[in-house]
Amino acid sequence: MSTRALFSALTLSVAALAGGQAHAADVPSVVLVHGAYADGSDWAKVIPLLQAKGIQVTAVQNGLASLQGDVQAARRAIDQQKGRVVLVGHSWGGSVITEAGADDKVAALVYVAAYAPDVGQGTRELGKDYPPSPGVQKLKADAEGWLTLPPAALAEYFAQDVPAAQATVMAATQGPLQRQALLDKVTVAAWKTRPSWYIVSANDRMIPPDLERAMARKIGAKVTTLPTSHVPHLSRPEDVAAVILEAVEASTR
């Protein structure tokens, strides 16, 4: 089945559940957690695709100063939802949803080219057995330890498959990550008790694709592989929305 056909089929199924076959409150809402060197606007192409199907969507704005700070931001967004939640994380956001996803309202997790640590692990150590990715080697730190990607590096290594004009905007709106946050350790791993989906970006230059595959296997996720950069939600938003809709459908009761 083609991506467009799958998206259409899932759309019809979720729409039916949200409409006549189940009460709308039984259809989970979606909370989107962005990664480092980004902000909530990175989900701008996925959000309308989900909203058009009647899904309530909230995009978190992370401070990127610490894991606990971003977990608290995600928990606030979860608390605002009326019912169950499908929690979606990109990149650094995967570490955030791994901990925040232990909330009783969270029904499923979707990792988008994202880190998936275990209890006691920090994000940085997940890549210790892999060669440094080319994009990570381009990160710049200021005197206070805030990491950013220079515009040229972001275009070449973070978002090489999006239009140049869009990459320029992404560079201007990126959220710096505090380097120390990468050492913060996860205290609970929600993927151990929640069904998970994982989107592997085969052409990722920020997280090694082999590491993404290994993390997806570790957490027992249902895997979709896309021929994309580190930001499939911007270059292939319909594919990403289809995976999220699949998680919503599986979590609807």
pLDDT along the chain (253 residues), means of 10: 51 48 72 98 98 98 99 99 98 99 98 99 96 96 98 98 98 98 98 99 99 99 99 99 98 87
Query: Sheet of 106-112: strands edge to edge?
Result: 57-60, 29-33, 85-90, 106-112, 196-201, 222-226
pLDDT value of position 49? 99
3-state secondary structure of 181: helix
H/E element, 140:
strand 140-141
Helix ranges, the chain (H): 3-16, 47-51, 67-79, 92-100, 151-153, 164-173, 209-218, 232-235, 237-251
Taken in order of first residue, the domains within the chain and their CATH numbers are 29-250 (3.40.50.1820)
Neighbours of 104 (CB within 10 A): 8
Amino acid at 82: K
CA 46 to chain CA centroid, Å, is 11
Note the pLDDT tens digit of each residue in 68-116: 999 999 999 999 999 999 999 999 999 999 999 999 999 999 999 999 9
pLDDT value of position 3? 52
pLDDT value of position 54? 96
- What does pTM read for this prediction? 0.91
User: Which of 48, 22, 43 lies closest to 33 in space, CA to CA?
Assistant: 43
Q: Count CA atoms closer than 13 A to 27's CA, side-chain side.
A: 24
